Amino acid sequence: SNVKDNLDHLDLSVPCMEKSQVCADKELLKHQNIVEFNNSVSWLQNQGTSFYDDSVEVKEGSNLKPHMNMELDNELENIVKFVGCYVHPMPISSVLLSAKGNEIYICVLCGILVDKDRTLFMYKVPVEQTGGPVGCPSFIGHAPIVLPLSRDAFGREIALDSSGLQFTPDGQCLVLLNSIKAPYCREGLMHCPCSTCSLDCFEKNAVKIVQVKLGYVSVMAKLKTVDNVHCILVCEPNYLVGVEESGNLHLWVMNSTWSAQKEEYDLPTSDCMSPGIVELKRIPRCAALIVGHNGFGEFSLWDISKRILMSRFSSPSTSAFQFLPISLVEWQRKGPISMDSDGKEHVNEIIAATKMSFLKQGENHAFLSLHGEDIAIWLLISTISDSDVQHDYRSSDCKINPIGWWRLALLVNNMVIFGSALDPRTAAIGASAGHGIIGTCDGLVYMWELSTGTKLGNLHYFNGAGVSCVATDDSRSGPLAVAGGGKLLVYLHTQEAFSNQQGNKQESLLSNKAFPMGL
C-alpha cells in the first residue's frame, strides 16, 4: 500500500509540559517484506508537539494526538533529568547513543531477540532550547536490517546488535558489518534486483559506512578486508577497528567525513590467545585505549594510537559473556603483587590511585607513559554462573537471568580478579559518571554509587516488560537511556550530580565496599 497523505492535526489544547504520550500513526514503508508495523509508530515525549525529519516536519501519513499522560517513577531527579520517552512499534533490542553539542543522536534496533530481522530507527533530540524544544525528536531515518547468525567457540550465539553496528564519531552515519543486510535503494526491498543492491550480495569481506534514509541505507564508503569481520569498534577521532574471523585485528584511520580511509594497519595480537577476540570496548575517557576478550576469560588491552598491544589478563577457569569497562588506573605499585593474605593492601592501593585518576580526568584522560604491569582496569563482567553463586541465590524466588552473572572485576598484573555477583535479576547494565545502572528482568531500573556500592534509588519501572537495554555515552554530559518493551527513556546527568562528585573527593568512583570479596 502507498504512504498515506493525510495528517490529523495535533490537539494543542493539551500542554506539552504534561509529558503526554504522542502517537504518530504512519505507514513507514510501502513493502510487505519489511517488519509489519500495523501502520503505527508511537512516540512518547515530554515536550514538543510534532515529529521532525531534519528540521522538516513529517506530515505524510502521520496522526499525532495526545494519547495518555506519562507517569515517571524517577527517585533520582537530583542526579539525572528526564529528556523524553519514545515509544516504538516493536520491542527494543539495543540502543546506541552519541552526544554531540546540544543534541543526542539515537539509534534503536527493534525486533524479537530470537529473530534475526530488525528494524533500525535513527533520530536526534535536543537537550537545550537552542536546538528546538527539549526532547522533541528530529527523525533522521529508518531501515529494515537482517543480522547474520554468529556463534563463539562455545556455540553461543553472539549478539551483533552492538558489536556489528556503531555510530561514526559525529553521529551522522553508522558503521555496519557487511554481513548485516539492508536495502540500498529507495525501493526498500531486502532482495532488490537493482545493480546497487545486487552488488552488496557478492561482497562478503568488508565493512561499510552508511547514511540511514527513509526505508533504506545509502553506502558512503566500503572498506575491504581479507577475511570476514565479525566485530567492529569506532573510536574518536577517526579510528575504526575490525576483528576478522581469522583472529586478526585491523585498524583503519578515516578522513574527517568518514567517506574514505587514510591509512590502515594490522594490530598485534597475542599468539597464545585462542580463540580470537569476540567483543571490543572503549575505555571511558581514554580515547585511544580499547580492551577485548575471547570469551574464555582472556582480555587484551591495545593503544590504537601507537598500534601496540599493551597488556594481557587472564582467568582461565572463567567464561565471559559480556563486559563493560568502567575506568583505567595508572598504578605505581609499592612492591610485587602477592595474592596471599587476601591481597587487600594492593586493592586499596589501586582504589586510591583510581580516586586520584578519576578526579583528574576531563573529557578524555591524558594517557601518558604507562607500562603494562602498572595498569589496572575496573570492569563489569557477565560470567557463567558457578556453583557458589547458585548456592547463594538458590533460595531466591525471583526470576534469575539465565545468560550470565554480572560482577565487578579488576584487570591487574595479567590477572582477572572477580568481586561478588550483583543482583541476580540483572538483564541489562551500564555505568556513567560514577554511577552504575541496573535493569532487571522484571522491569525495574535503579542506580547505585560505584564509590560505595550504595543503591541511590529507582529510576523507572517498566510495567509488564523486562529491561532489554541500558545505553550510555562516554561524553562528559553523561546521557543514558533505558529500554523495556517498545519504550525508550532518555536522561541526562545533572550539573548537581557532577558537583556532588567533585565535593566527595575522598569517596570517588570505587572503593573496596564495591569490591566485597577476599582476593
Q: Could you read off the pLDDT of 363-420 as tens digits, one per residue?
A: 455 444 445 457 789 999 998 744 444 444 443 444 444 456 898 888 988 888 888 8
**41-68: pLDDT as tens digits:** 333 333 232 333 333 333 333 332 222 3
292 pLDDT band, cuts 50/70/90, is very high
pLDDT at 328: 85
95 pLDDT band, cuts 50/70/90, is very high
Contact by Cβ (8 Å): 466, 507:
no
Domains and CATH numbers, the chain: 16-507 (2.130.10.10)
pLDDT at 73: 63
Global pTM value: 0.80
131 pLDDT band, cuts 50/70/90, is low
pLDDT at 188: 92
**Average confidence (pLDDT) over 108-120:** 90
195 pLDDT band, cuts 50/70/90, is confident
Distance CA 150, CA 46 (A): 39
Contact by Cβ (8 Å): 385, 409:
no
249-254 β-sheet, strand order: 229-235, 239-244, 249-254, 261-267
Identify the weakest region by mean pLDDT among 49-58, 79-88, 126-135, 208-217.
49-58
pLDDT at 503: 44
Distance CA 292, CA 253 (A): 19
- DSSP reduced 3-state for 351: helix
**Average confidence (pLDDT) over 5-15:** 25
Q: DSSP readout, 36-86? A: P-TT-EEEE-SS-SS-EETTEE--TT-BEEEEEE-----S-TTTEEEEEEE
Distance CA 484, CA 92 (A): 7
Calculate the average pLDDT of the chain.
Answer: 74
Q: How far from chain centre, in Å, is Cα 62?
A: 30
Query: Which cell numbers hold the place of 231?
Result: 566485530
More confident residue, 135 or 9: 135
Q: What are phi and psi of 186, to 5 degrees?
A: -65, -15
pLDDT at 239: 97
Distance CA 48, CA 191 (A): 38
pLDDT at 159: 64
Assess whether pLDDT exceeds 50 at residue 219: yes
pLDDT at 323: 92
